[in-house]
Amino acid sequence: MSFKMAKDLVIEFQAREVTRLSRQYMDLLDSPHPSVRLQGINGLKKTGTWTEYALKLAEDSNFGVRKALAEYIKETGTQDQQPVIEQLLMDPDDRVRMSALNALYAINPEPERLRVLLQDPSPKIRVRVLKLAASELPPEDVQPLLEDRHVSVRAEAYQAFIERTEDTVALEKIAQETPFPQARKSALLKLLVFRPDFVQKFFSEMLSSDRYTEQEKKVALTTLKHLPYDAIASILRQAFDDPRLRAHYPVLIPLYVEINLDSPATAISFLTTWLEAEEPKIRLAAVKGFGKLAEPATVTLLRERLQDSDETVRAAAVDALARLMDYELEKVVGDLLQDHSYLVRKAAIKAISRLKLEDEYANFVERMNEKKEETRLRVACIEHSAKARYGFAIESLKRIMGDLSEVSLIRSAAAYALLRLSPAAVIELLSQ
């Protein structure tokens, strides 16, 4: 009974918080300063509070405010606001029109209206219509745009065409000849269904060819994981024997691990060779590969990465060691929490929770109370204190809930953490 009562009080607390913030944001709409009006409309969007009063901003002198109004209608409006959206679609600023188009598609995606906008003089609008409604536009409407004088429109038209066609000859031609990397990727993905043999042959030829740019190869390689394992293995052998493809190793290393999960010794030997790579992205891929394997034999190698010069590698090493239940982390967790990188500090907090290092739980309270700390890390500390059932966090959580100067996200996290830790404390605090 007390938990249900406490939960209801937390819900009421959340509702009051939204109301309080919404009133503050509404007051900002009348400010003479555009930046303040922008803060007001964005705040109302964030709280999900609808008010007709905001529609007056359709006439605002600042394009950023008009754009924000369109985004606000997209998130909280209905078809009743279509006249305002139509007004914003005629705005002199393309950025406003783009947001208005997004709102139109969200509240009332009329096919005929979209077809008209497909002929809009602005290439940005034509591109956006193609992105939003590719699956709904008839091929005859898309076909002329394949020859559009704007490159961005042609690129998106190819995407829409690929989505609607099942012509394998046309798809093969696009894969081999298109200048648009994303169109090639889409064509290859579709050909995996109809012509997997073509896709495998294409990859082998593409990797050894100088005809394709590094960016084109990078985009195409993201589809490699959809091939059969034996085909992937063959292509990977070719790739790792070619130093020209080194820039793509961060994408290919996880694939190598994936197809060798049943042979951890092979994967470990392979990953070890990349731990000292000059490129941080390659080292990161190797560390994450060890994390995927979750083999105790890799602990020593991962501990060495705690001193890596790159923050993403250090954070990944902490996470991998925690997953391996390496309790030696307790000896260095204090140093990790002093790391200049938020990513490493957050990984350390997560490790304390995962390993149940009770002597380190006090760090949850210390960090959640530190207002200069990164918001996401403070939220993580609040959540992990509840997960660990750390009773010494209760007073801090109560203080945070009652502090109106705290970020709303942190106060909300504190409310739910306190509910989990002590429903009685919630009742005591919110019944006053």
374, pLDDT greater than 80: yes
> 61 falls in which pLDDT band (50, 70, 90)?
very high
> 2 falls in which pLDDT band (50, 70, 90)?
confident
pTM: 0.76
What average pLDDT is seen over the chain? Answer: 93
207, pLDDT greater than 90: no
The b/e string for 238-272 (b: 16+ C-beta within 10 A; e otherwise) is ebbeeeebeebbbbbbebbbebbeeebeebbebbe
Nearest to 387 by CA among 411, 355, 412: 355
Contact by Cβ (8 Å): 378, 346 = no
405, pLDDT greater than 70: yes
pLDDT reported for residue 208: 83
Mean pLDDT for the stretch of residues 74-86: 94
Distance (Å, whole) CA 344 – CA 349: 9
pLDDT reported for residue 314: 98
Domain boundaries, the chain: 1-30+389-432
pLDDT reported for residue 386: 95
What is the percent of the chain with per-residue pLDDT over 90, rounded to a whole number? 76
Mean pLDDT for the stretch of residues 306-314: 97
Tokens representing residue 160 in the block: 């829409």
Mean pLDDT for the stretch of residues 395-409: 93
Mean pLDDT for the stretch of residues 57-82: 96
Listed as own residue / partner, the contacts of 408-412 with beta carbons closer than 8 Å and 24 or more positions apart are 408/17, 408/21, 409/375, 409/379, 410/368, 410/375, 410/378, 410/379, 410/382, 411/17, 412/14, 412/17
Mean pLDDT for the stretch of residues 33-49: 96
1, pLDDT greater than 60: no
Write the pLDDT tens digit of every residue in 131-171. Answer: 998 888 888 888 899 999 999 999 999 999 998 888 999 99
Mean pLDDT for the stretch of residues 226-232: 89
pLDDT reported for residue 165: 86
Q: Phi/psi class of residue 207: alpha, beta or left (left: φ > 0; alpha: ψ in -120 to 50)?
A: alpha
DSSP secondary structure of 289-349: HHHHHT-GGGHHHHHHGGG-SSHHHHHHHHHHHHHTT-GGGGGTHHHHTT-S-HHHHHHHH
Contact by Cβ (8 Å): 45, 71 = yes
> 290 falls in which pLDDT band (50, 70, 90)?
very high
Distance (Å, whole) CA 197 – CA 225: 15
Say which residue the tokens 């209801």 belong to.
8
Reduced to 3 states (helix: H, G, I; strand: E, B; else coil), residue 90 is: coil
Tokens representing residue 211 in the block: 């005809």
